[in-house]
């Protein structure tokens, strides 16, 4: 892994906690990559970089709000100014949901779509001209198992993640001749604050940790597996525990999966 990521400029969104923070930590320890850290929380980004032991010449902090998707060209210009290029963009930032569809305000659905899909697509589109000009690049996007199948309490979230798959699958084919590779990562239950920060039907935070998330894969282990998938230029990789088996049920036994999902504990 060290050789692949060495000498690359890597931009990680959602880098202030969870998966993003674990990726920064792993890359700081095992590579000499230069890292751009983004999220809405600028102070936390500096703290993550310092905790990871990154020297000041190896990282830059660029605040980013995916809701502000029209501003992405300006944000990307600032990123390019830092290190001159972007070799790998890791679209990790996002928002989850814990509410029944009929109890979810449509504005909450729109917010999920704006953050998890539109903002991510806008950032990617703004980065691509620079990668094409450089003649290579890689984009990784953190989707979810909910990008492959839906489950109760995740309707808006699953819709946004399904949109990511459609967009990036199409983009992968369009950019193949430009030597730009696309990797979609589909986490299962990972030990992060995703459920604590998830929105409920009225848009407020859930504020509690789901049992399934609390008992999920440790985030540092996940980050290692994710970076391995990126290195191998996987088109798509599901990572997690036994819940990943649902991907195969979806493909080969969709009727069985439908029954399982109706009865599964998803929080």
Q: Write the CB contacts of 57 (distance below 8 Å, at least 6 apart in sequence).
A: 34
CA angle 88, 63, 9 (to 5 degrees): 20
Of residues 4, 59, 130, 157, which has the active-site annotation?
157
Helix, strand, coil: what percent of the chain each, to 5? 55, 15, 30
Contact (CB, 8 A) for 216 and 241: yes
Alpha carbon 132 to its chain centroid, in Å, reads 22
What are the beta bridge partners of residue 187? Answer: 239
DSSP strand pairing (9-13 vs 88-91): parallel
Q: Indicate if the alpha-carbon torsion angle 190, 20, 231, 144 is positive or negative.
A: positive
178: region left, alpha or beta (phi > 0 left; psi from -120 to 50 alpha): alpha
H, E, C per residue of 42-103: HHHHHHHHHHCCCCHHHEEECCCCCCCHHHHHHHHHHHHHHHCCCCEEEECCCCCECECHHH
Asked about 130 being catalytic, the answer comes back as: no
The CA distance from 64 to 42, in Å, is: 9
Residues catalogued as catalytic: 157
């Amino acid at each position: 892994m060290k050789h692949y990521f060495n000498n690359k400029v890597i931009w990680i969104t959602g880098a202030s906690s969870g998966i993003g923070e674990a990726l920064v930590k792993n890359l700081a320890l095992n590579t000499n990559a230069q890292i751009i850290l983004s999220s809405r929380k600028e102070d936390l980004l500096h703290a993550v970089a310092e905790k990871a032991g990154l020297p000041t010449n190896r990282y830059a902090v660029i605040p980013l709000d995916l809701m502000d998707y029209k501003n992405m060209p300006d944000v990307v210009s600032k990123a390019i100014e830092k290190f001159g290029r972007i070799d790998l963009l890791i679209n990790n930032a996002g928002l989850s949901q814990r509410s029944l569809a009929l109890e979810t305000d449509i504005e909450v659905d729109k917010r999920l779509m704006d953050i998890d899909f539109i903002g991510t697509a806008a950032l990617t589109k703004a980065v691509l001209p620079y990668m094409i000009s450089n003649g290579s690049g890689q984009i990784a996007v953190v989707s979810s198992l909910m990008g492959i199948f839906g489950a109760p309490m995740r309707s808006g979230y699953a819709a946004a993640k399904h949109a990511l798959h459609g967009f990036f699958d199409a983009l992968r084919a369009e950019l193949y001749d430009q030597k730009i590779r696309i990797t979609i990562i589909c986490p299962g239950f990972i030990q992060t604050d995703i459920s604590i920060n998830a929105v409920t039907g009225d848009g407020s935070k859930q504020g509690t940790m789901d049992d399934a998330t609390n008992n999920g894969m440790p985030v540092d282990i996940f980050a290692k597996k994710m970076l391995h998938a990126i290195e191998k230029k996987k088109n798509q990789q599901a990572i997690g525990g036994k819940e990943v088996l649902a991907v195969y049920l979806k493909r080969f036994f969709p009727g069985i999966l439908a029954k399982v999902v109706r009865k599964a504990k998803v929080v």
